[in-house]
Structure 1
Amino acid sequence: MISELRIGDLGVIEEATIPLSPGLTVITGETGAGKTMVLSGLSLILGGRADASVVRSGADRARAEGRFLVDPASEVAERAREAGAELDEDGTLVVLRTVAQGRSRTVLGGVGVPVAVLAGLADTLVTVHGQADQARLRSPRHQRAALDAFAGAPHLVALEEHRSAWARRQDAASELAELDRTMAERRREAELLRVGLAEVERVNPQPGEDTELAAEAERLAHLEDVRAAAARAHGALSGGDGPDEPGASGLVDQARRAADAVASHDVTLAGLTERLAEVGYLLDDLAAELSGYADTLEADPGRLDQVQARRAELSTLARAHGGTVDDVLTWVEAAGPRLLELDQGDDRRAALAAELADLDATLAATAARVTAGRADAAGRLAATVTDELAGLAMADATFGVVLRELPEIGPWGAEDVEMTLVGHAGAPPRPLGQGASGGELSRVMLAVEVALATAPDAQRPSTFVFDEVDAGVGGRAAVEVGRRLAELARHSQVVVVTHLAQVAAYADQHLVVSRSSKQGVDVVTASDVRRVDGADRVAELARMLSGTDSATALEHAAELLERSVVGR
């Protein structure tokens, strides 16, 4: 519930603190005193649209602050904490809205949040009824929601099960449709993969084979030059056949022997002699390897053609998959699993078709349970609201709830819900809003809310706010409106802006918005909000009845107040 509303620089209200208690609170005051601004403040803390035109003349910004008492373990409290908000120790959730030219700011529990977060929480906490909300009552969606709420918690569980089944069916149907839509494309892709994998298997490329063949082709193309170079290098190391043609190996050996002859006399020279010996061994090994390598370079005219043919085959394959043999092998690693996935498409389609058939059966069953719940609730709601309307001076009116079958099952069931009203005996039932006056719609709306609030297991918000619920009514009907609001207030907090004393007399708390003037450089009007009790309350009721506080008006007001207490 809302425990307090504070307003600053909003319309004609300079500063006001409005305490709101459990039960029925009525807000009254003369026309133009600022009752509308109280509702504007409530709208702001409930996430309503922020309009800079509501900022009081001469002020920079308007503000509205609301204090909600919520159960710390409730879903509302959990959603607020998820948004970063904090609750006070007593479970108070503070909401602050400020409105300035071109911008507004929303603070929830000490943390700035988007206004949509606040609006989402407010939908759970508060139901607001005004002239615009009468239009919503004509909406099939809101009528269906009202009937479902009246049906109670077990029905809402069945409805949620149906919605879950419908969502699962939608997912399965979408996947099946996508499979069907892409089946030809998938088959083409699978065929291309098969052809590509078969070609790779035929060619059988090996890792790095293209690089190795390129090197071999380069060598084979210059085979004679390579062999001649190897032979010359071997000759340079080994020398000729005669003693006058020593090669590098022989010269190094001569140097080693010369140094070795006197190495015993000089340590440094001895070390150099050892290094010369190592060089000699190395040169001998190189000469042997060059000789052996030259012997392997036998001319093979056909080998070069074979290498070039293999390179051409690999090149054709590689160009289709990235440019190298390694790219081909990488493609194979991905293509195999993808082909397996595509080949399983038919199996997946068959599984989806079977799943869809099962879900159709489930959906038909859940929709039937929802329909049964609505059918039962429709009769009870129609009878309850009709009884309420009789007490609201609409004795000849009959309220009805009609279920109209849909062409196909949807997320909310197999039917639309239409509320109807028979205005007087002999008249045909007509949809709400067709032919009913604003006052009649107000009373229908109130009767529906009372029915919802008093229904077993019905889910209801903690607070109701009514504006103009008494529009177009008077006399006994106004008394009955007050009585019904008082009945509703036994189950929820109810805040009503009214101009009827018959309604105000039923309040547990009566707040009066009054207008005053402040003299300065300019004349500034402001409004105050005060609670009235005792004689002050009787005086306010007298003003509402006759516009005066004459003895007769005061007597009538006192009598009205006494009757309201007895009539509860």
Structure 2
Amino acid sequence: MLEELELRDLGPIDSATITPAPSMTAITGETGAGKSMLLNALRMISGGTADASRVASGADQAWAQGIFALGERDPLRAMLAEAGIPVDDDGLFLSRSVPAKGRSRSVLCGKSVPRSLLGEVASNLITIHGQTDQLRIASVARQREFIDAYARDDKARESFNQSYEKYRSVCERLRRLQTQESSMRQQADYLRDSIARIDHVDPHDGELEELMDQRDRIEHAEQITSGVEHALAYLDASQFESAEGAAGVGQLIAGAVQSLRGIHAVGDYEQLAERLESAGAEIDDVVFSLSRSLDADGETGNLDSINGRIHDLNELAQRWGPTLADVLQWRDRAKIDVEDLDASPEQLHSLEQERDRLRDEAIARGRALSKARTDAANALSAQVNRELGQLAMSGAKLDIVVTPRNGEGMLDATGIDDIEFLFTPFPGSASLPMGKSASGGELSRLMLALELCAADSSQESDSSQNASAGMTFIFDEVDAGVGGKAAVELGRRLAKLARRNQVIVVTHLPQVASWAERQYVVSKETGKEGTHTTVREVSGGERVREIARMLAGSESKTSLEHARELLHESEIE
């Protein structure tokens, strides 16, 4: 919901701020006063094309900002979070500046963003129905979305989408096998050769490091043996015949421990003995390890054989590594890829059968979806046509045609049908696509009828994710060519739509403006500094006088009484 719209230096308006009502707001004023600038401000923050000619004379830039309230569970929050746009309790801020020269700047909650993102966000908040605006459901995709929302066919669409996704996945795999058969054979041959080479060497994880350690020991065997023997000679001379009778470190420490424990005087001799005893145990462990090392290093091995094995393993690591673990993982993945790349006739035939089965399944579910759309199209057409009769468009009609496709290309991601919204403005006229067969005012009233029907459908099922629920609708020229009782009915229906959505209408009809909860008047004022356009809210007696002016062009007693009566009667029961 739009909570506030502010603009500066846009056309004849130096500055203005409006706070629309949650329900219906009317924008009124004399012709040429500048009401269109408020619409231009909304188009600006909706990502519309920048027009430097709208910058006020003498100003550097035009600027507009809209503040919108979002519900806690509004799906737009997830979209904004993904784009890195923070949204707090103060609302969602959309602003746009258009300089007299240069590029425009789009801002979301204080963060500069591409104009396309501003437009995408605004499309979930604002719908403008006017002659110069693209219709919300002018495209085939939007029309299908509108019908699906009206039909409340979520289950049928989900069922179809699941079937179609399976069908599309198999088609893609089959296409890959068929169109890339030659390159895939080459890839399969390469994978098979690589797998065979790895299997021939038959490495195991960590083997390269083990062999390099073994080679290092062999190459330095004499140095290692000499060093270890000398160390052992110092630590435990009893292991060598040449040192028979010599005391080792362990024996010396044991003697020291015994001597300390023989002291019976006061002191920490017992603690020192325990420390020496602990050191002796550690030295014994070192002696044991060195002895085992000496025995192991005595086994020399074939150095040439080891170097050859290291060479083979290094080649594997360089090609498919960097480690042997990586090589083994690559081989396992390659075996799986070879199975997919081997486009055998049996495999192709099996995939073709699977594709045909899934296609038949998707078409069957598509037919169920198409029936739901057809039923909804018939109901919506009838309901819209009844609304048009109440909106001074007697004889006009909307035909929503759901046409099932045939042939090879009947199935796509949207289903198996084509949808068209065809409008006939008067009896005997040709039925043409929306946007090509009606004036701006007729299109606005047609869109009002559609939005009313969508709102009714949403009200029937609160769980429905109706496309129009909670939107801010802007109507311009909706009252063109309307008067009398039809004008009153037009206002009543706008107010009805405003029960569940926010509605802002630019109107010159008092019978429409009187239904609004809040009214703003755009007027020209001439002073010492020239002529300026102002925007102000009118209420109470001031609003009565504005309605009287719209009725009779004056504030006579009769027109004022008529205005009060009109405002009193303009209430939905």
TM-score w.r.t. the length of structure 2 is 0.69
- Residue 489 of structure 2, aligned match among 480, 483, 488: 480
Structure 1: distance between partners of 2:360 and 2:91: 47
Aligned-partner residue type, residue 534 of structure 1: G
Match of 1:516 in 2: 525
- Secondary structure of the structure 2 residue equivalent to 1:476: helix
Match of 1:533 in 2: 539
Shift of 1:3: 0.9
Cα gap change, 1:132/1:148 in structure 2, threshold over 3 Å: closer, same or farther?
farther
Match of 1:15 in 2: 15
Cα gap change, 1:78/1:61 in structure 2, threshold over 3 Å: closer, same or farther?
same
Structure 1: distance between partners of 2:413 and 2:422: 24
Shift of 1:398: 3.8
Aligned-partner residue type, residue 92 of structure 1: G
Match of 1:107 in 2: 107
Match of 1:284 in 2: none
- Secondary structure of the structure 2 residue equivalent to 1:103: coil
Question: Which deviations, in whole Å up to 9, do the C-alpha atoms of 1:232-262 show, x marking residues without a partner?
Answer: xxxxxxxxxxxxxxxxxxxxxxxxxxxxxxx
Question: Which deviations, in whole Å up to 9, do the C-alpha atoms of 1:43-89 show, x marking residues without a partner?
Answer: 22233333332221112222212111111332122322333333343
Structure 2: distance between partners of 1:431 and 1:406: 19
Match of 1:557 in 2: 563
Shift of 1:106: 2.6
Report the structure number with the largest CA radius of gyration: 1
Shift of 1:366: 3.1
Does residue 460 of structure 1 match 2:442? no
Match of 1:260 in 2: none
Shift of 1:327: 5.4
| Superposition map of 1:87-126 within 5 A | 87-89=87-89, 92-100=91-99, 101-126=101-126
Structure 2 runs not aligned, ≥5 long:
203-311, 321-326
Aligned-pair identity in percent equals 41
Match of 2:419 in 1: 417
- Secondary structure of the structure 2 residue equivalent to 1:539: helix
Contact kept, 8 Å, 2:10 with 2:55, in 1: the verdict is yes
Shift of 1:28: 0.8
Cα gap change, 1:123/1:165 in structure 2, threshold over 3 Å: closer, same or farther?
farther
Structure 1: distance between partners of 2:200 and 2:28: 93
Contact kept, 8 Å, 1:67 with 1:95, in 2: the verdict is yes
Contact kept, 8 Å, 2:137 with 2:146, in 1: the verdict is no
How many pairs were matched up? Answer: 446
- Secondary structure of the structure 2 residue equivalent to 1:72: coil
Shift of 1:38: 0.9
Question: Which deviations, in whole Å up to 9, do the C-alpha atoms of 1:372-410 show, x marking residues without a partner?
Answer: 221221122122112111211334344332211223122
Match of 2:55 in 1: 55
Structure 1: distance between partners of 2:198 and 2:442: 82
Structure 1: distance between partners of 2:362 and 2:193: 44
Cα gap change, 1:498/1:466 in structure 2, threshold over 3 Å: closer, same or farther?
same
Cα gap change, 1:79/1:198 in structure 2, threshold over 3 Å: closer, same or farther?
closer
Shift of 1:484: 0.9
- Residue 164 of structure 2, aligned match among 163, 166, 190: 166
Shift of 1:203: 13
Aligned-partner residue type, residue 563 of structure 2: A
Match of 1:35 in 2: 35
Cα gap change, 1:188/1:87 in structure 2, threshold over 3 Å: closer, same or farther?
closer
Match of 2:507 in 1: 498
Aligned-partner residue type, residue 509 of structure 2: L
Match of 1:380 in 2: 379
Structure 2: distance between partners of 1:427 and 1:104: 43
Match of 1:292 in 2: none
Match of 1:256 in 2: none
- Residue 156 of structure 1, aligned match among 149, 154, 177: 154
Match of 2:480 in 1: 471
- Secondary structure of the structure 1 residue equivalent to 2:44: helix
Cα gap change, 1:157/1:63 in structure 2, threshold over 3 Å: closer, same or farther?
farther
Structure 2: distance between partners of 1:167 and 1:132: 39
- Secondary structure of the structure 1 residue equivalent to 2:358: helix
Aligned-partner residue type, residue 108 of structure 2: L
Shift of 1:490: 0.8
Contact kept, 8 Å, 1:96 with 1:108, in 2: the verdict is yes
Question: Which deviations, in whole Å up to 9, do the C-alpha atoms of 1:79-104 show, x marking residues without a partner?
Answer: 22333333343x52222322223122
- Secondary structure of the structure 1 residue equivalent to 2:128: strand
Contact kept, 8 Å, 2:451 with 2:468, in 1: the verdict is no
TM-score w.r.t. the length of structure 1 is 0.69
What RMSD, in angstroms, separates the aligned Cα atoms of the two structures? Answer: 3.5
Question: Which deviations, in whole Å up to 9, do the C-alpha atoms of 1:431-451 show, x marking residues without a partner?
Answer: 545654443333222111110
Structure 2: distance between partners of 1:42 and 1:171: 43
Structure 1: distance between partners of 2:360 and 2:512: 52
Structure 1: distance between partners of 2:520 and 2:201: 93
Structure 1: distance between partners of 2:67 and 2:19: 10
Match of 2:296 in 1: none
| Superposition map of 1:385-424 within 5 A | 385-407=384-406, 408-423=410-425
